[in-house]
Homo-oligomer: A and B are copies of this chain.
Amino acid sequence: MPIKEAVRPGGRSARVQEAVHQAVRELQAVTPRDELTVPRIAERAGVTPSTIYRRWGNLSELVADVSLERMRPDDDPVDTGTLAGDLQAWGEQYLEEMTSVPGQRALNDVMASADGGRRERCYRYGESLMGTLRERALVRGEGAPSVARLIDGIIAPMTYRLLYDPEAATTDNLQRWIAGTLTNEE
Which residues of A does B touch, CB under 8 Å?
A: 33, 60, 108, 111-112, 114, 119-120, 122-123, 148-149, 151-153, 155-157, 159-161, 163-165, 168, 173, 176-177, 180, 183-184
Contacts and interface: CB of A to CB of B under 8 A. Distances in A.
B155 A119 contact: no
B159 A33 contact: no
A153 B60 CA distance: 32
> What is the copy number of this chain in the assembly?
2
B112 A164 contact: no
A160 B152 contact: yes
B156 A122 contact: no
Contacts of A151: 157, 160
